[in-house]
Structure formats: structure tokens, C-alpha cells
């Protein structure tokens, strides 16, 4: 039987004869970057070949070249809804924040979605083919169509709350109606993008104007991240009549067509996440200059890259253990593991040799084996309908390959090494 096994070589790069290594503690990160105040380890300094009493660091802010703004403090009552963990309203908002955000988002998420994975009782899963993107429709829906996303701010606003709740039937009760009504009242006075959308609603009255477009402005006179928050005139503009009709990015009055919002547009994130960016803070765009003005004439790169701007991680709090972080890292092609041998150097799912690596063998045997389950033990929690939900025992695999779904199947050879479980 092939049991579950997954361990890395990184902590065990020792001679084959023994594992008699001592524990190596490099201490805490106690050195502070003088530019961004990030706490760093001494060995992360620039010029590692030189000793310094005042080390400089580049992993955090490029030694002062990258200056990103702190998140804006959200206005009340949004701050209470986001961070208060005691009130009933705040708990409701935090638990359902994705649904509420989708009710008030100006753009809709778009992708080629494959839902064929939803064949069991596991949490809902889907796979995206290609690139995810954001779409925005015309200002008004076509005849006999219900308003969606940004259209909800303009069309049939007397029934705005009802139309928003219609997107999620689970919220169609008196409590949610009242809560969404309060969110709508707050949004109208605090969210900067909504002010211009409401202006479009007022101008679209038949007696006022017959043709109107919404222009998403990508150029800023000043950097909205550092110097000032953009006002409504710097984010979107209303175009009356036939003026500037040639721009394919303009949101027209009534077409029935969806237009893709460029992911490099500075308002890309505020359009999709209005509750996280109520003040319309700019996101990433290609022309953000490095802060290092003195050396800009000799620098190889003068502008901030997307990899320097974004950092994504998720901290998962589990009841059965300590919290841990899921961090998405984008590797340069030269740093990727290009072939199975590279993977074998850092990851193994095989039982270690008991004769040559006894300590490692015992660690794996005591801490990293799943089961036994399957035919030998049908009463384990992982067994559902006679099968292990973790797909154990695994089949032997002579070499590491990539399966048809793009996942790695690690080398798991039948090398005769065994463990005994009771």
C-alpha cells in the first residue's frame, strides 16, 4: 500500500551516513529599512560580501526606489462594518462581503468558466480558462432586460434596492432589504465613482439630453496614490452629444454590448471593489516612476513594475492548528523548476531509506503518513462512499509528470521501503 507522503529536501541536505545536524536559528528580523521601515534579516542586505553597521535592503522597497501608499482609512460607517467584530450588522457584512460588493460593483467579472469539477459534495469549485477580466455594459439596459451592475445606479432607481437583492435570492427578506437600503444611502454620499454615475442618471432624463456617454479617464495630472485622491472629474467624465465619438472605450447610452475594462486602468480596482476603495484610490498603471530621482538617468528601469506594486497573500485560520499563510509568488523564467530533476532536488514523496536516513525515516513515519484507510480501514473520517476523499492510497509513479489538468504527479517509485501503521 502506498501511503500519503510529502516532504522537502530543504531541511535535510545532509551526508547520506547520518542526520546528525544541529538546529540552526538565524534569529528574528531586527534590522529596519531606513526607507520603508520594514523589518529585515541582516543577510537580506545589499552587498552581502561586505559587513555594515547600517545595512541597506532592496527586497522590501528597492532601497527607497519604490514608495507605495498606505491604504486609505475608510469613512464611517464603512470602517465599523469592516473592522468591528462585535455588532450584528458588522458580522453580517463581513460574512457576506463578497455578495454585498457584487451588488454594488460597477463592473462584472468575466471569464471562460469550467464547472465540470462540481461533481461531489465538496465546496463549489470552478476552473478559469485563459485570463479573468472585468466588463462594463452600457448606461441603460436593453428593452425588457433587468439592470445590472453600474446600470443599477441609473435605471429604475425607485426600485434600486429590490433590483440589487434580485441578484441574490437568499437575501430577499426584510432584514437584508433594510441593510442593503442603508448601504445604498451610504454609497451615494461616500463612494466617489457613484457621484458621477448619479449625475449620468439625472442627465438621462428624456427632457434633458438624448445622447450621453461615460468616459473612463486613464491619465492623471498628478499621481493619485501619493499626492491627492482623484476627484470625480479625474476618474470619469460625462460626454454629451456626438463629442469624442471615436473612442471605443467610452461607455455608451444603450447598446447591449459589454466592454472590457483594461486591467492597467487606474480605476480598475475601485470599479470592481467599491467598498474597499470608496475614495477611488488609484491602482497600478504603467507610468509610475521610481522614487529614486537622483539616479534615474542611469537606472536600468525607471518605472515601477506590476511585480513591485502587488503583493498577495491569504492567512488561513484553522481550528485544528496554528494559522498559516498562502502566498502567491511569480517566478522569473530563469528561477522556475524546468524539469522533473529540478523538482526531485527539493521535493520527495517517497519513503526514506531506513538504513541511511533513520531519523528522517522516523519523522516521516510518525508525522507525515496518511491512513491507513481504504479497504484496510473503512471507518476513518476520510472515507466517503467507500473511497478516500484525499485519493489515497496513491499509485506508484516512476517519474514526475504533469497530468491533463495541469497538476504535478510526483515521482513515487516502488523502491521496497515500507512503514507499518497500527
Tens-place pLDDT, residues 85-108: 888 888 888 888 888 888 888 888
pLDDT recorded at residue 10 = 38
- For 419, other C-beta atoms within 10 Å of its C-beta total 18
What pLDDT is stored for residue 122 in this prediction? Answer: 67
Q: How far is CA 94 from CA 82, 89, 292, 316, 401, in A?
A: 6, 9, 40, 16, 41
Q: What is the pLDDT of residue 39?
A: 92
Cell of 104: 454594488
Percent of residues, the chain, with pLDDT higher than 90: 6
pLDDT at 222: 52
What mean pLDDT is predicted for residues 304-308? 73
Cα 186 from Cα 184, distance rounded (Å): 5
pLDDT band at 412 (very low <50, low <70, confident <90, very high): very high
- The 8-class DSSP code of residue 295 comes to T
Q: Which residues 6+ apart lie within 8 Å of 325 measured at CB?
A: 313, 314, 315, 316
Name which residue leads in pLDDT, 370 or 10: 370
Average pLDDT rounded to a whole number, residues 257-279:
81
More confident residue, 380 or 122: 380
15-62 pLDDT tens trace: 444 444 566 777 888 999 998 889 999 988 998 888 888 999 988 888
Give whole-number Cα distances, 82 to 79, 94, 124, 261, 271, in Å: 5, 6, 25, 27, 19
pLDDT band at 373 (very low <50, low <70, confident <90, very high): confident
Per-residue pLDDT at 40:
92
- Of 77, 73, 103, 72, the closest CA to residue 189 belongs to 77
Torsion-angle region of residue 97: left (phi > 0), alpha (psi -120 to 50) or beta?
alpha
161 pLDDT exceeds 70?
yes
User: Residue 286: its pLDDT value, please?
Assistant: 78
6 pLDDT above the threshold of 70? no
Q: What is the pLDDT of residues 215-226, one digit of tens each?
A: 666 665 555 444
What pLDDT, on the 0 to 100 scale, is given for residue 135? 84
The three grid cell numbers given for residue 373, joined into one nine-digit string: 484507510
Q: What is the mean pLDDT of residues 6-22?
A: 45
Which of residues 90 and 71 earns the better pLDDT score? Answer: 90
> Comparing C-alpha atoms, which of 168, 169, 152 is closest to residue 160?
152
Do residues 133 and 113 make contact, with C-beta atoms less than 8 angstroms apart? no
pTM over 0.75: no
Alpha-carbon distance 336 to 334, whole Å? 6
Question: Is the pLDDT higher at 154 or at 22?
Answer: 154
Cell of residue 340, nine digits:
522533473
From CA 214, how far away is CA 151, in angstroms rounded? 12
3-class DSSP assignment, residue 186: helix
Question: Which of the two residues, 359 and 226, has the higher pLDDT score?
Answer: 359
- Assess contact for 357 and 374: CB atoms under 8 A: no
Under 8 Å between Cβ of 85 and 73: no
Q: What pLDDT score was predicted for residue 126?
A: 74
Cβ proximity of 90 and 80 under 8 Å: yes
pLDDT at 14: 43
CB atoms within 10 A of CB 37: 9
Mean pLDDT over each residue of the chain, to the nearest integer: 75
Give backbone dihedrals phi and psi of 60, rounded to 5 degrees, phi first: -90, -55
Mean pLDDT over 103-131 rounds to: 77
Give CA–CA dist 168/366, Å, rounded: 48
Which residue is it, cell 428624456? 206
DSSP single-letter state for residue 372: S
Interval 394-404 mean pLDDT: 87
Amino acid at each position: 500500500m502506498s501511503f500519503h507522503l510529502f516532504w522537502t529536501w530543504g531541511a535535510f541536505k545532509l551526508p547520506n551516513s547520518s542526520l546528525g545536524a544541529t538546529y540552526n536559528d538565524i534569529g528574528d528580523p531586527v534590522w529596519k529599512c531606513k526607507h520603508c521601515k520594514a523589518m529585515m534579516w541582516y543577510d537580506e542586505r545589499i552587498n552581502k560580501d561586505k559587513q555594515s553597521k547600517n545595512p541597506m535592503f532592496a527586497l522590501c522597497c528597492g532601497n527607497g526606489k519604490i514608495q507605495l501608499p498606505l491604504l486609505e482609512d475608510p469613512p464611517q460607517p464603512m470602517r465599523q462594518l469592516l473592522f468591528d467584530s462585535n455588532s450584528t450588522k458588522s458580522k453580517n457584512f463581513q460574512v457576506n462581503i463578497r455578495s454585498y460588493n457584487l451588488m454594488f460593483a460597477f463592473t462584472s467579472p468575466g471569464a471562460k468558466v469550467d464547472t465540470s469539477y462540481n461533481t461531489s459534495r465538496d465546496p463549489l469549485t470552478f476552473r478559469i480558462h485563459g485570463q479573468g477580466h472585468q466588463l462594463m455594459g452600457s448606461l441603460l439596459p436593453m428593452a425588457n432586460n433587468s439592470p445590472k451592475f453600474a446600470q443599477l445606479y441609473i435605471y429604475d432607481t425607485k426600485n434600486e434596492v429590490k433590483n440589487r437583492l434580485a441578484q441574490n435570492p437568499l437575501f430577499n427578506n426584510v432584514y437584508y432589504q433594510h441593510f442593503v437600503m442603508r448601504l445604498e444611502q451610504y454609497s451615494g454620499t461616500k463612494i466617489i465613482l457613484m457621484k458621477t454615475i448619479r449625475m449620468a442618471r439625472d442627465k438621462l432624463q428624456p427632457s434633458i439630453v438624448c445622447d450621453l456617454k461615460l468616459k473612463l479617464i486613464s491619465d492623471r495630472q498628478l499621481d493619485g496614490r501619493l499626492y491627492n485622491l482623484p476627484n470625480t472629474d479625474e476618474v470619469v467624465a460625462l460626454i454629451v452629444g456626438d463629442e469624442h465619438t471615436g473612442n471605443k472605450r467610452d461607455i455608451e447610452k444603450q447598446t447591449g454590448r459589454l466592454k472590457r475594462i483594461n486591467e492597467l486602468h487606474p480605476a480598475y480596482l475601485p470599479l470592481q471593489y467599491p467598498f474597499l476603495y470608496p475614495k477611488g484610490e488609484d491602482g497600478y498603471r504603467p507610468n509610475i516612476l521610481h522614487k529614486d530621482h537622483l539616479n534615474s538617468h542611469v537606472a536600468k528601469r525607471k518605472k515601477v513594475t506590476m511585480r513591485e506594486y502587488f503583493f498577495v497573500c491569504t492567512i488561513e485560520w484553522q481550528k485544528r492548528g496554528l494559522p498559516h499563510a498562502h502566498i502567491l509568488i511569480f517566478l522569473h523564467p530563469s528561477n522556475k523548476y524546468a524539469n522533473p530533476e529540478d523538482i526531485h532536488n527539493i521535493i520527495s514523496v517517497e519513503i526514506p531509506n531506513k538504513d541511511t536516513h533513520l531519523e528522517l525515516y522516523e519523522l516521516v513515519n510518525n508525522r507525515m503518513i496518511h491512513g491507513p484507510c481504504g479497504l484496510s480501514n473503512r471507518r476513518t473520517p476520510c472515507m466517503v462512499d467507500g473511497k478516500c476523499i484525499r485519493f489515497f492510497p496513491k499509485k506508484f509513479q516512476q517519474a514526475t509528470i504533469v497530468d491533463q489538468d495541469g497538476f504535478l504527479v510526483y515521482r513515487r517509485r516502488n523502491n521496497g521501503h515500507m512503514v507499518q501503521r497500527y
